[in-house]
Structure 1
Amino acid sequence: MILAGDVGGTKTTLGIFESQRAGILLKEEQTFSSRRYSSFETVLKAFLQDKTVKVDRAAFGVAGPVFSGRCETTNLPWLIDASQVSRQFGIPSVFLLNDLEAAAYGALLLKEEEIKWLQSGEPDPYGNRAIIAAGTGLGESTLYRKGANFRTMASEGGHCDFAPRTSLEIKLLEYLWNRFGHASYERVLSGPGLLNLYAFLKESGDGGEPSRISQRMEKEDPAAVISEIALKGDDPLCIRALDLFVSIYGAEGGNLVLKSMATGGLYIAGGMASKILPKLMDGTFIKAFQDKGRFSALMRRIPVGVILNEKAPLAGAAQFAFLNNDPAF
């Protein structure tokens, strides 16, 4: 049996998969609030305490850079060590991979109805593919073909320097510098990033904040509040913030495609995508995605799809463990 995990700053989902000749089959899963646990091992213990299955392989997609089987998670105070997990839980083979690598492997398993295409393009079946995901942070990864299989290239591209495209975004860059020192794309393209955009526009005089919104933000996830109100068209400032978010998201998605020459397509993953799907579909994302000057014609040929199955990273981690049992992988 395979133990797999999708380990994020907000939630951690663990699952048991059966390894079959044709692939993997999910048998059971459970989701935990990451911040309620002091370590990854305590989450694993809670999940496995009543399980009698024998796990021979495990793979965990983790939100952070992985070095030599270890990861200090970016948005959690956890140190995850594959060797320690192997010893503590008696699992012979344990793998750690970046969460966007897991999402990339999961994208290869998707059915057609689990993708909403923003641009059909002209897919190249042998071309590289790119994955971008805004959530608690911003993740990016690339799939490239190696023989009969695809392999992933890990990335921390979300922490690259934010590059403004307009006079408004130049002011945004200066705002981010003043607040954070370094201005990365993650400071804009994430749940906290959407709140940063909202605060920037509010301070810039783009609109006031009604008490009904500020009161909700004190009790609920501010990014979720902004998105919900914007999609309903109930507040100009929220609408403006989400519009700016999606435009920058499209631009950075295009940057990732160009850097990885992802002629096989761009997949948009992450917890935010399905929640703001109507906005992603209104043309704002694709307009910014295509706006690459002399390479705009190429960008119109790239398929762009939103992953609707939020369990794709979990399945992708399990698929990675499954493939690592194949000497040809």
Structure 2
Amino acid sequence: MYSRLLKGFLAVLLVTTVAGAPASNGRVRARQSCPDLLQRRAWHTLTDDQKREYISAELCLMRTNSTTGLPETRTLFDDLLAVHQTQSMNVHGDGWFLPFHRLLMHAHETLLRTKCGYTGSQPYWDEAHEAGQFTLSPVFRADDTGFGGDGVFQDGDTDPIRKCIRDGPFASYKLHNGPGYSNTEHCINRAISDPYSLLSSQVNIDYCLEKPNFREAWPCIEANPHKGGHAGVGGEMDNAISSPGDPLFYLHHTFLDRVWWQWQERDLLNRSRDIAGYTTGSEPAGGWVLATLDDELDMKGVIPNERIRDIMDIRGGALCYEYI
């Protein structure tokens, strides 16, 4: 599904802009200083106890009641999925892609810490380190330090939605949102592909890091590195709408956020103000609308909305973390 969507997304005309119309009247948190930076680390560098704490907190989200009232949501985990699902066509293939997912990763991290007692930070999956050999990655361990392995068909079934993970901490969880825009109870499904995972290679990352501006860097990151994680894991993760149904979504998009930050750090003064593209992946009836720093990203009440300008520097404003 991602490959089909990307063809349309990346054909969109991109226009660079760093200013624009005021934000909407949604709930936006006031800008604040950053006391202590959370340190986000690669999953494979965490201790087993740190991995267990993270997975335990994720399981907590899966059993804690929903607060958003979004369709079919029952848990906080569902809430985060629905924030993505209900806005998917506005946050892929356009200038909101990287900012929206940066804020969604922050929302996930915030819920883990405030609702489930997690004391760590949001880890990332260093996919470049494991490109071409996802099947050997420690993220797919079947014990309490991993996310379970590949999906498995049963009884001759060939419907991808039922290629369910059969081991690991999340094997019994039933999703209520998705696949896609539908809302049907189903398992977390996977179809791991080492060939697709090669798209997350360091060569492809470096190619994006060399881009001179956001207008070129964002679609580069959204193409190969983005698809490498989604198609490399496959199943629910390869559904552009409902991919947060696999808990690995958050490690994957935190990895992409790190790539964006690495690109920003090369010229932070300018790149913390550089935004480009439109606010939708396809042209709306009223015509294209340029993305601006004052655009407000909607978290549907999970956490306060934020303007893009307030999340451009991860070490201050609405955010407070760094990558190690």
User: Is the structural similarity TM-score above 0.5?
Assistant: no
RCO comparison, higher one (Cα < 8 Å, 6+) = 2
Q: TM bucket by the smaller chain?
A: under 0.3
Higher share in strand: 1
Q: Which structure would you say has the larger Rg?
A: 1
